[in-house]
Structure 1
Amino acid sequence: MNKVAVIMVGFILLLIVACGSQGEKTGSYNFKQGVGELQFRFLENAPPEKIYPNSNFKIVLEADNLAAYDVVNLQVAILGLDQTYFEISPSEQKVERLVGRSLTAPGGDKQFLEFDGQSKSISPQAFEYRAPFFLKTEYRSTFEFVDTICLNPNVYAIYDAGCKPDTQKSFSGQGAPVGVNRMEEIISPGAGAKVEFRLFITNLGKGKVKTLTVGKGELGGKPLLCVFQRAEDPTGKKVQLGTEAQEATLICTASLEDSQSYKTTLAVDFSYDYEFIEPQELALVR
């Protein structure tokens, strides 16, 4: 084998190893962690930095779903613009679904929303007019909390060499703008042993959680009773979380049947309605 052939074989082997490592890294990434949310940006020159009187222009908005869950019933509206100087059509755009980030779609779903604008005359005494407006976004989405926990109904057992429960845990999020940031586990031992989980859910994003609803809860595959501490409805399943850093407490309870410690899975899913309003402006110049 000549020198050129040896170099080529070595280069091919290096590419195979590099591609394999990259595939393993992508395949093992968990998108349902940290904070991920719907993000928007205006395309360059849409709208233009300067808009001249009696002219047409475009507002093009890129909606990018960086959460790990689908966004549905997305509504984006341009509000508060003075129609003396500008007309926008349509004033609202709707998107049925934007797919979230996953192993099959690591970048999430994107969509461009286009608004047609028309400027009007500016006052003869004015050189420039800055028109403020609001970009209002509303949508519905979900997130799920899953964790491996230890249950020990007999905390005073001397010879139980199994797992040890964590009374408190903290989390970075579940890949959404809303998430569980900490959990407390409280076990009532002895006959008729019970466990209580307190999940503290926080608004981690830039907007407002209009309604947060708890769905199905399971402990080791069995149904788990979960209700909010300060629920907005008689069922205890809904709460208004509000703006950034505001917190809701979900209490989940279950009876324990085994007498020895063991590890199992705690899973709770949620849905929420989210809204955020961002101030913007257009510049009308002579």
Structure 2
Amino acid sequence: MSDIQIFSFKPKAAPKPMPLRETPPGKVGPASLPRELFLKIVDSLVDDVTAWETPASWKLEYCYNASSKLVVKEERMTIAETSHSQMKRFERSRLPSQIDRETRLMVNKKLVRITMLTENGTISPIDAWVRPDIDRFVAFCAAGRDLRNQKLHFIQAMTLPTPTCESLINSIQRLHFPKLEYISRKNAAAIASFAALPHLREISTVVGNWAPDYNERIVHHGMRKIDQKTYPTLHNWAQRHESTFASIFRPLKKKGVKLLVDMMMGDNPFLEICDTEKGIRIKTLIANCNCCSHEKLY
């Protein structure tokens, strides 16, 4: 037993952090910069992140494997590494996001992080950078019986969102319907579910076939009947759905949501569809006359 030796181990003390270097007289450095001033500097960096930004277009989809159930998929490029808008937003937000947790939260208020799908439908390892104030979300449109259950799940997830879906629900301010025919009785439940979006302010769709009179220099204000020669697709849609449009769009009309029409999927709407006591009317947003009232029903 006398040959047994007992060794004791005493861990070394943790190294002390290096002290900040003393700030030279007349200079402002880490030791003397107030936190409030520092956050104002970061806030200006965050403003630079959102300056001169191009809007992105996101398709809304249902994904069972995602905790949020509702996800986005970029309309043109879906993988963050190859998307111009996503790379641009990442590069601009990288510096203020990497300082500390508080500055990262400041960035996430302007660029909301949302679960995103890749081109093949799998969940991307990188969340999307979404600009709620300018980005547009494309409503899920089910075509065929195979997607009927997917549509039902989408409506349920929109109406009763999960806690992790709250950031997406709060981010949708601009919604887009890919086809004018989406606004019909068969999609009444889906359209009503969009009334649950707290910050939704406008819905856009496409006009379809149209033949503008370029010789018509004066465009009149007011809510007017749809001219069949100028807007044949819009006129035919209004004739088919005029009796049901008021009841379908009523939940959104009560929220003050505008229904805008564009030539194609862009950001230049030129018409607004109005529900009036005389039926469906349109208001030209590029009107230039001086003789008509803006809100008068003609």
Bigger RCO of structures 1 and 2 (CA < 8 A, at least 6 apart): 1
Report the structure, 1 or 2, having the larger strand content: 1
Normalising by structure 1, we get a TM-score of 0.27
Normalising by structure 2, we get a TM-score of 0.27
Report the structure, 1 or 2, having the larger helix content: 2
